[in-house]
Amino acid sequence: MDDKRVRIGCSGYPVERRQYQGLLGFVELQDTRRQLPKLDKFSRIKMSAPPGFEFAIVAPEALSDPEQAEGLPGDPRGYGALRPSPENTDLLDRTLAGAQRLDAVVRLHTTSDLGAGPDAFDRFRALLAGIDRRGVRLAWESRGPLTAREVIRWSEELDLIPVVDPFQDDPPPGPVGYIHLHPLITMSGSLNAEHYVRLLERSMRHEECYLVFDTPHAFRDAVALRRLLRGEAAAPDDESAPDNGEEPAPDAADESASEP
């Protein structure tokens, strides 16, 4: 099967960067949720990656959470709730400019600060209407009060890819999917062969799917699932599937987007 159909990776680099990029072809960069680097940094990240390696980035949390606005330009009160303020608009625009340099998909993450009032959808729509998406795909994960049905409806109307955890909600239909697996998938936090098969089945419902592991054994899980996707042996207890039980090596930060 084509790796371009199901892009399998981790939330950040759980192991040394070269080891990761030798076995996986996709990563979701996390440092961008706190601070965006300059555009040149995005370009260097892209150039230092192997040919064909792909990225996602997490949009700054200040877009939905005003408490994360410390150190950002403008009025701190202009951030949060996805309001179409000059501060939020500029921050989202810079995020998309960086993603364009990486050819990356952007994952928006919202919490209850988005609000569930009658104007919440209008604020979100106005913010997106005020920016040039630059051809960048936008995925949206809501951890707020919205129901799964509301998230799907909003995503359809706003041209967003709804982000789901298939162990909690079934991925909605659509040509592109985005699966984000959180730490507490099972009581033990560990995946087994049955989980892997289920994940691939859910992923293959789409023409393309991004699948991000943010689990206790993310690197092991991602490598094993990619091998299963390719038709290779991939049991969870396969010793050839590396684990991520130790801290990332210093080189793992080389591709970090946290530096300005």
pLDDT tens for residues 134-178?
A: 999 999 998 777 888 888 899 999 999 999 888 877 778 889 999
Sequence-distant contacts of 67-71: CB under 8 A, at least 24 apart: 68/34, 71/35
| pLDDT for residue 29 | 97
Structure tokens at 195: 């989980």
Contact 181, 203 (CB under 8 A): no
pLDDT tens for residues 27-74?
A: 999 999 988 999 999 999 999 999 999 999 999 999 988 889 999 999
DSSP 79-119: -STT---HHHHHHHHHHHHHHHHHT-EEEEEE-GGG--STT
Structure tokens at 78: 């202009």
Contact 16, 218 (CB under 8 A): no
Instruction: Tell me the C-alpha distance between 69 and 61, whole Å.
Output: 8
Contact 233, 227 (CB under 8 A): yes
Domains and CATH numbers, the chain: 6-253 (3.20.20.410)
